[in-house]
Structure 1
Amino acid sequence: MMVDAHLDLAYNALELGRDLTLPLAELRRRDTCSEVPLVTLPALREAGVGVVFATLWVDPRRYPTPEEAHRAALRQLELYLRWEEAGWVRILRRRADLVEHRVRWQQDRAPALVLLIEGAECVRVPEEVAFWWGHGVRLIAPAWNRTRYAGGTREPGGLTPLGQELLWAMQAQGVALDCSHLDEAAFWQALAVFGGALCATHSNPRALLGGEANPLANRHLSDAMLRALGAREGVVGVVLYNLFLDPAWRRGQPRLPLAVVGRHLAYVAAQVGWERVGLGSDFDGGFGLHEAPLGLEGPADLGKLAGWVPEPHRPGVLGENWLGWLARALPA
């Protein structure tokens, strides 16, 4: 069973108008977006991707207020629930759900979703964490760019006082912390106040991306951040976006070779151990086929990445490391 720890499924369906219940080839024939889609629910099933961390991601440029973001996130949640009711997916809420899913998946190959809020503006006040937890959310990433809670990508800064309250509410409720997109100052403050399960669902090593000279440096993880995640038993999902694999790459240029992904996997493993390395493709998270490495035409090709992983660790990187993390992070 493979695991992809970051897909913006509901965003693609609702904001881009993509029918993700279609076969991937059919969606590509119908799609009018500039980025060629990489994911549909049938494609995940056929590929053997058994678990997906599925986001509630609300674009702050389109929904700039907490109330607008809240309503948009609810629409995404409702879509996931409709997919579950129709049998397209299962939503994992507790450890027992994961155990049951691993048995059922052998027969039906229906992917399971772990619901993740990316960028927490839809959480109107920290006390609302309990509401989202009750509706199935099991991870929250406080930042995307800067939010009311924390500094983020391109917009540095630490935790705000409201951000500390959010983390306290998350820990009290048993919601895990996704550190992806957190600015480094906010990251260290978060680790100091948050004692629950944490991870980075879709982040790459800063050292391979130009270090501090990269304008997107704070989107990526420093070596110290990687080691801190490993020390807290956090798993790091490597992103499969060309710009986050090679800072010199630009849209319209040839796709990068898969070996570049291998370098990122190995670098993360050198900091945290192979048992803490996973995949967080972010396929369709603002990019598509031509912005992904050559050879990754859809979920079915994720297994190719095993060729850059030492043989004993291949099942872990492709899925078992994330499954082990979920077995610890999901509530009993």
Structure 2
Amino acid sequence: MAEFSIFDGHNDLLSCLWTEKSYHGEAFFRGRDGDLDLEKCRKGGFAGGFFAVWVGGVPGTGPDPMATYREFSAIDPVRAMQQTLEQIAILLRMQAARPDAIRLCRSTAEIAAARAAGAIAAILHIEGTEGIAENLDALHVFHAAGLRSLGPVWSRPNIFGHGVPFNFPASPDTGAGLTEAGMRLVWECDALGVLVDLSHLNEAGFWDVARISTKPLVATHSNAHAVTASTRNLTDRQLDAIRASGGLVGLNFGCSFLRSDGVKNPATGPEVMLRHLDHLLAHLGEDGVALGSDFDGTMIPDFITDASGLPHLTDALKSHYGAALTEKLCWNNWQTLLARVIG
């Protein structure tokens, strides 16, 4: 039994299951090679989090994923809509098959009920909204299906705004901000109680959301640019704006977003993660920092490896910060934030 329960800001399990053709999530229940499956989650204390729907580009046509600079082109919205529906259906089927193991949660009360029952509490998230048209009809359908969080963009452009390309060392200030459609998307999310995730949005888009949204600013899986100068990380000025809004940042476990050299190298120890957490805590306070692993979507430090290794991280957190703050970082801060956004 893990000492701490983890509520995590981001994983890419659903898109991986779709790629693996595990359309009923059977690989999650029986065991798989990725970061998340039921046994690994239970061993590591992974008790809930944001489960992302993500639509990739056409295989074999994108840039080298190991390159320092990676920029992705816009993708076909019809294909994006179809894959979005198919990935949401995977989570719905998983819940129908094993409600003892995983439950789609629409509120913090449902998260608490899932935790009490020993089931993983899943918040449905869409990362990059190519499957939502400008009229936002699909947003309302997805919300009815359980959507409670979305990132307007992934690291590519769409009709709502511009994502940051993957680059190091570089600024997140990489171009124009939200489009008019993007602003309408943010307003509608605020009205519905859908969290707007800033993690892949460029800096101009970040400030547009900060200006027009009435909700706390949240980056579910990002780190400190002052520590690692990746476009995917947040500047101190952005962190200060998040704190002023009562928002939150979830620490991304991706090695290239953690290491000061920006290298995708799994020989990345807990002290590197603690450097980012120290910086985030200094700017955001003890209530504004949590975890956002990016499991199944990035290279994880080898001292963790996958969800089963989370106790290695929580041991380091407890030794560095004490049990009370570790509990806030692992679970409580996400619950407090979500209560203010989704209810």
Task: Please say whether Structure 1 and Structure 2 have the same fold, judged by a TM-score greater than 0.5.
Answer: yes
User: 1:147-202 CA deviation, whole Å, 9 max, x = no partner?
Assistant: 21111122632001110111111112121111110101000011111113441110
Q: Which amino acid aligns with 1:295?
A: F
Partners of 2:263 and 2:288 in 1: CA distance? 30
Partner of 1:3: 7
Partners of 2:29 and 2:222 in 1: CA distance? 28
Partners of 1:148 and 1:261 in 2: CA distance? 34
Partner of 2:273: 261
Partners of 2:199 and 2:11 in 1: CA distance? 13
Which of the numbers 140, 147, 150 marks the counterpart of 1:130? 140
Displacement after TM superposition at 1:220 (Å): 1.1
Partner of 1:12: 16
| Residue pairs, 1:1-332, within 5 angstroms | 1-17=5-21, 19-23=27-31, 27-28=32-33, 37-61=34-58, 64-87=75-98, 88-104=101-117, 109-125=118-134, 126-145=136-155, 146-154=157-165, 156-210=175-229, 216-217=230-231, 219-251=232-264, 253=265, 255-285=267-297, 287=298, 291-306=299-314, 307-308=316-317, 309-311=320-322, 312-331=324-343
Cα distance, 1:102–1:39 mapped onto 2, change above 3 Å = closer
Identical counterparts, % of pairs: 30
Q: Pairwise CA RMSD of aligned residues?
A: 1.9
Partners of 2:75 and 2:143 in 1: CA distance? 23
Partners of 1:329 and 1:152 in 2: CA distance? 23
Could you say what secondary structure the match of 1:271 adopts? helix
Query: Deviating runs (4+, > 3 A) in structure 1?
Result: 60-63
Could you say what secondary structure the match of 1:162 adopts? helix
Q: Which amino acid aligns with 2:55?
A: V
TM-score by length of 2: 0.84
Q: Which stretch has the larger CA shift, 196-205 or 264-273?
A: 196-205
Partners of 1:50 and 1:301 in 2: CA distance? 14
Partners of 2:57 and 2:215 in 1: CA distance? 27
Partner of 1:31: none
User: 1:232-267 CA deviation, whole Å, 9 max, x = no partner?
Assistant: 22121111111111152534x561111101111111
Partners of 2:202 and 2:311 in 1: CA distance? 31
Higher helix residue share:
1
Partners of 2:259 and 2:58 in 1: CA distance? 27
Cα distance, 1:190–1:89 mapped onto 2, change above 3 Å = same
Displacement after TM superposition at 1:17 (Å): 4.3
Q: Which amino acid aligns with 2:96?
A: E
